[in-house]
Structure 1
Amino acid sequence: MAQRMPPGFETWLRQRRPLFDTTFFKVAGLCPPPFLDRPQPAQPAQPTQPAQPDRPAAPAPAAAPPEDTGAAVAPKPTPQTAAADAPAATPPAAPAEARSIPIGRRHERGVDGEAVSLAADLLPRHVAILAGSGSGKTVLLRRLVEEAALLGIPAIVLDPNNDLSRLGEPWPVTPDGFTVDDEAKAARYIGTTEVVIWTPGRSAGNPVSLALLPDFAAIGDDRDEIDQAVEMARATLEPFVAATGTSARLKTGVLSAALRRFAERGGGPLADLVRLLEDLPEGISQVSKAGKLAADMADQLHAATESNPLLRAGATSLDPAVLFESPRGHTRISVVNLAGLASDAARDAFVNQLQMTLFTWIKRRPSASGRLYVLDEAQNFVPSQAGTACKASALSLVAQARKYGLGMVLATQTPKGIDNRIVSNCTTHFYGRMASPATIEATRELMAAKGGAADDIGRLGRGEFWFSTEGLRRPVKIRTPLCLSHHPANPPTAEDILTMARTHAP
């Protein structure tokens, strides 16, 4: 019968439960207790509403076929059904419910089923969202940040395309598809969350500056982490010291040696490193012209601080505590809009400085409740082939951050375009619709490694994703809800961003 799938077979199977009449199930204790009635027949599925532009269709309550997919799937609403489906020895999941991120509903054969959630404790083990244009990726990304904020989890959100700068704006009109629960959550989110928009490189908005060097004193004596911090600092400084041409390798060697000595002495501000380079002591580097090369790099750093807007005094010197913590007791979301950084090099240098600062700061300020660091269009920051100024610091952060309660959420349209070491460090994956044969095949390969096989990855609707995390034997298909903050079809303009930055200032 299962192979033929006659009409009504699933409904009959779920209502009749013939295995409960077998001797084996009775002896093994797999049947529901005799004092429980049989579950009531499921209500007929209601047709889902058509998807609205830039958001998934409203979920329709309906019964879905039962499947053992791990603790991330919430029990069915009917108490009798829940008791019948659960193994006898399974304890109630109520304690975990208070620290979970609702992500949508199971979606099978066009019908929405039981609610699905992600344990908040899995966020520090990182999340990857792999989905193409028009898949609902941005809506999912925003809802994750919003639901985490409702649990008191703050976030730093990098916004390269202006898509995320409205996280602090309420919907002007209740959108189609919002449930009563969504309306209540949206009101609570706007009332309890403080969204601050930062505009590096744009003095008319909410400008910021970051230190070029990590806090070496905060690292302690861990040699591996000192080496990682030195490597991040070298990658940050190279664009500023003109380490190009025939002298590039020599300058890189001298700079690395000077940074190691600087870190051994406990570090300090950039001015202290410049003084070390101006008068480099003997024995720090074996390069024959080390002193001359170091003095030249000191001059380049002087010129950079006088000409680069990110290094000038006057802007807010961005401490991660300012990014994560609100003096008013609200949950803070810091949206860092990158539109004011005119070139890829400037953008990468800024992101590297931010990641380098986070790397050392979280060691001094670990979080038991969790924090988020969100990178949209992650393939631009941690590409699979080429190197960028921020790639080394991102790899160090993804490997170390989980120990200190910082979860990274990375979204990309090109699964093969992002460094595999990033994706493999993410415990939770979302796979959305892909368009090109190459990205479809790449996504299938990633899903196969998680035990799934999605032949429909090129046909998924907006807001439909395959979801995989710890506790699931294989990916399950879900439909995600609409985000709680205003998300119109078109992103805000540059002038809109500056206005919002002045409005959403700390």
Structure 2
Amino acid sequence: MQDYEKRGSFYLGRDYDLAQRKVAGEKVLYDSSDLTTHAVCVGMTGSGKTGLCLSLIEEAALDGIPVIAVDPKGDLGNLLLAFPDLLPADFQPWVDPAVAVQKGMTEPELAEQTATLWRKGLAEWDESGERIQRFNDAVDKVIYTPGSSAGIPLSILKGFHAPPQEVIDDTDIYQDLVQSTTQGVFALLGLEADPVKSREAILVSNVLDHAWRAGRSPDLAGLIHDIQQPPFTKVGIVDLETFLPAPARLELGMKLNNLLASPSFASWLEGSALDINQLLYTDEKKPRLSILSIAHLNDSERMFFVTILLNEIVAWMRSQPGTGSLRAILYMDEVFGYFPPTANPPSKKPMLTLLKQARAYGLGVVLATQNPVDLDYKGLSNAGTWFLGRLQTERDKMRVLEGLEGASTQAGATFNRQQMEATLAALGSRVFLMNNVHENQPRVFHTRWAMSYLRGPLTRDQIRTLMQPRRAEFAHEASAESDAKAELTNGGSQINTRPVLSGSIVQKYWPFGEELAEDCRLQYRPGIASDVKLHFVKSSAGVDFWRKAVALQTVDDKLPGPMWNTAMLLENTRMLEDAPPHECEFAVLPSPLTQEKNYTRWDNDLVDHLYRTERLTTWRCELLDLSSHAGESEAEFRARLGELALRKRSELVEDTKSDYANKINRAEAAVRKAEDYLNSQRSQFWMRLLEMLLVVGDALMGILGKKRSSRRQPTTAVERTMRERGQQSRAEEQLDEKVEALDRLKDDLQSRIEQIERECDPANLKLENEVITPRKSDIDVGPVVLVWLPWKIDDAGQAEPAW
């Protein structure tokens, strides 16, 4: 067995001579136990960061170490493209046809070229197909896709299960867990969750705390119920109704319910439970490489999922016995946005807890990013290993150096900032600087050839292809939460033929949103819908805006009470159809939907509902003297302000520099004048000192009986010398004062520039919002119609919206 195959040694590459720009002979073997103090990998696009991180995961797999890898971009699925035979036929399904066209080649030719490239690259780094086979055999590789059926779905119904008693007993961690879980839920809703000011957030925190301390694990439906009817009567010392009245609790519960009822959220309720043990090991205790692909999710959904995942890992970690060896790895690619330096998203606290405490439990955290300025380097001072690739800007280098220095200080190691800065500036593609606090000095190395085929981000169809053979295997993991989901999505309804209704009840069919798979059948479920127009007017804000949409209320076996309370307003929808496609099923129609008189009543109810619930929010940025367009979201408005904010920042910075220029010039002139005066005083002092020495010498000659050349008294000369010495000291103090004044001015200027940069950062622009109620007299509601909504049901009976 070669030296780099020893257990506990991760083969990452070979030493690299920066001066000669060539790879040296000695292999870089990273001690896996060093990873318990965590690692950070930073490098711009093209630096080779992805290849290095995938190689590190490959080495962990070869050692039988399970990995949970969060994949926001889709690159990590490449770990499943590891072909021991290295045949062109292995690569052909995965090569990019566009690249083949660009190179003037056929896909088989490109596959053969790629296979040759991989064989040659692996051979140059002492790797082989046999090593790839051992990598494939060592771990069970799975791509999970929360919120999607492309890979193996993950259900979040267990996302609120009670933490172990060890976590509850740790007050700080438990409070952070409650708070970050609450913030994650609110992030999914697109709402702020200030843990001190937001009464809604405080209520949800109390609901979770009450349930967890009682040993209950509420699902989303249970959370909604507990919000509307909390199992306590006081919040703090204030009674519940005074703290947050029932209508406000109902509104919050309805927002969650709308989310739960949304067709796009149905896939969040499917699949395997979010269980850390299942992500780390198979039922047979084989280590698992779990890739959690979240590229398909929007920002709020990603934040929600990552927060829930990190909280689950914290809870799992605290239930494990302590160890000094590497037990598992949590890897997160592109951690941008989840661990920022100033903001506090819900993911930050559990991430910080892991960085501070996971070492004792053998959990190594590896974070990667190409945006170093967007990381909290104070928090990352807990990271013992830094893999640093080519960086894009000087600002990036300064932030990385700041983090390195903090990590070295934390570990009690020395740090040569000047040498480190010079090394960073010389790095090239696939060349990294490894700064490991467990080693005596940093090490520059060239990354080895990855065993996995690095073809770039996988599409959802490609993930589906990779995971298709595994779907049946994971079907048995359906849990009680899945049964609850089925109850929510199916509503206990029975399958029926198309109901017979009065001709006065208008029936429409929602357009089918996608092609129906061969193993699925089509079922229509009822709802009611109406075309609506809302008029928002506010002259002081310059708003006169009409909003057109379709109000849609889905219906299960029980109608919502009152009707429209969980309705969705959908814009830019296609025309409703008059007839269904052939060979479809119909769910049983609740009795109220069969009665013609109800549809007229629901018209008026909809007007009241829209007036009570619908609001138009406009945004204004005083710094740039701009207001949002009607109907423009905050995110869209911020995006539009981005370039203007950067231009404003440049103007303010230049104005500030100009304001300080004269002050700094005067301060520098004062320093030069003080320096000149000090030099003058020093010259006079030395002259007096020489004169004193001559006088003293002359006096000594007189004592010896020789003729004196001067009658000056030694005491007078000494007094003059001391006086000159005192004047020199005062001149030195004056110079120090002038230098300090100059430094303060420069520091003030830098602080002001940094403040301007923060205030003018598009993400930090201060916006004021104004909420406008629709004019009730102008609310126009069309006839309410019975609408049939298409659902697809697979052979296993799992239902999914198809609209």
TM range (shorter): 0.7 to 0.9
Shift of 1:311: 7.1
Instruction: Determine the structure 2 residue equivalent to 1:401.
Output: 358
Q: Could you tell me which residue of structure 2 aligns to residue 318 of structure 1?
A: 274
For residues 259 and 421 of structure 1, do their structure 2 counterparts lie closer, same or farther at Cα, with a shift above 3 Å needed? farther
* Cα displacement string for residues 416-449 of structure 1 (whole angstroms, at most 9, x for unaligned residues): 2111244212111111111222213333444455
Question: Matched residues in 2 for 1:365 and 1:255: separation?
Answer: 28
Q: Report the TM-score, using the length of structure 2 for normalisation.
A: 0.48
Q: Given the alignment of the two structures, is residue 164 of structure 1 paired with residue 76 of structure 2, yes or no?
A: yes
Q: Which moved more, 1:233-242 or 1:432-441?
A: 233-242
Task: Give distance in 2, aligned partners of 1:176 and 1:130.
Answer: 28
1:450-477: per-residue Cα shift (whole Å, max 9, x none)? 4242414243122211111133233121
Q: Which residue of 1 aligns with 2:40?
A: 128
- Give the alignment of 1:9-88 within 5 angstroms: none
For 1:416 and 1:466, how far apart are their aligned partners in 2?
A: 18
Deviations 1:221-249, CA, capped at 9 Å, x for gaps: 22222212111221122235675599972
Task: Considering fraction of residues, name the structure with more strand.
Answer: 2
1:419 aligns with 2:376: yes
Alignment of 1:127-146 (within 5 A): 127-146=39-58
Contact between 2:68 and 2:290, CA under 8 Å: does it hold in 1?
yes
Partner of 1:8: none
Instruction: Tell me how far 1:99 sits from its aligned partner.
Output: 1.6
Identity %: 26
Name the counterpart of 1:233. Answer: 181
Distance 1:102 1:255, change over 3 A: same
Residue 148 of structure 1 aligns to a residue in which SS? Answer: helix
For residues 349-386 of structure 1, give each alpha carbon's deviation from its aligned partner in whole angstroms, at most 9, with x where no partner exists: 11111111111122224575511111111123212233
**Is contact 2:330-2:365 (8 Å) kept?**
yes
**Are the aligned partners of 1:166 and 1:486 in contact in 2 as well (CA < 8 Å)?**
yes
For the residue of structure 2 that corresponds to 1:378, the secondary structure is coil
The residue type paired with residue 283 of structure 1 is K
Distance in 1 separating the partners of 2:226 and 2:267 = 19
Q: Distance in 2 between matches of 1:366 and 1:168?
A: 31
Amino acid of the structure 1 residue aligned with 2:440: R
Cα 1:111–1:504 shift into 2, 3 Å: same
1:104 aligns with 2:48: no
Letter in 2 for 1:462: S
**Residue matched to 2:207:** 258
2:288 is aligned, of 329, 332, 349, to: 332
Number of the residue aligned with 1:48: none
Letter in 2 for 1:131: G
The separation in 2 between residues aligned to 1:493 and 1:408, in whole angstroms, is 27
Aligned to 1:176: 120
Pick the aligned partner of 1:195 from 130, 141, 150.
141
> Counterpart in 2 of 1:209?
155
Q: CA–CA distance in 1 between the matches of 2:338 and 2:190?
A: 21
Q: What's the Cα RMSD here? A: 2.9
Residue identity in the other structure for 2:385: T
By relative contact order (CA 8 Å, sep 6+), the higher-ranking structure is 1
Is the CA contact 1:366–1:405 (under 8 Å) kept in the aligned structure 2?
A: no
Quote the offset at 1:220 in angstroms: 4.0
Change (3 A) 1:463 1:298: same
Cα distance in structure 1, aligned partners of 2:146 and 2:302: 9
TM-superposed CA distance for 1:309, in Å, is 2.2
Query: Could you tell me how far apart the structure 1 residues matched to 2:454 and 2:134 are?
Result: 17
Structure with more of its chain in helix, by fraction: 2
Q: How far 1:122 sits from its partner (Å)? A: 2.0
**Cα gap change, 1:367/1:300 in structure 2, threshold over 3 Å: closer, same or farther?**
farther
Q: Give the secondary structure class of the aligned counterpart of 1:334.
A: strand
In structure 2, distance between residues paired with 1:256 and 1:124: 32
1:289 corresponds to 2:243: yes
Whether the aligned pair in 2 keeps the contact of 1:373 and 1:406 (CA below 8 Å) is: yes
SS in 1 for 2:122: coil
Gaps of 5+ in 1: 1-76, 78-93
CA distance in 1, matches of 2:424, 2:319: 42
- Structure 1 length-normalised TM: 0.74
Greater C-alpha radius of gyration: 2
Contact 2:14–2:23 (Cα < 8 Å) also in 1? no
Counterpart CA distance in 2 for 1:354 and 1:245 is 19
Q: How many residues align?
A: 412
* AA partner of residue 191 (structure 1): D
Tell me: CA distance 1:264–1:245, structure 2 relative to 1, closer, same or farther (3 Å).
closer
Closer, same or farther: CA 245–391 of 1 in aligned 2, 3 Å: closer
Alignment of 1:358-369 (within 5 A): 358-366=313-321, 368=323, 369=326
Q: Partner residue of 1:34?
A: none
Q: Give the distance between the partners of 2:210 and 2:11, measured in 1 at CA.
A: 49
Match of 1:309 among 261, 265, 272: 265
Instruction: Report deviation, 1:213.
Output: 1.8
TM superposition shift of 1:312: 4.9
Aligned to 1:496: 462
Q: C-alpha distance in 2, partners of 1:245/1:226?
A: 18
Distance verdict in 2 for CA 1:470–1:444, change over 3 Å = closer
Provide the rounded CA distance (Å) in 1 between the counterparts of 2:59 and 2:389. Answer: 20
Q: Which amino acid aligns with 1:202?
A: S
Q: Partner of 1:279 in structure 2?
A: 229
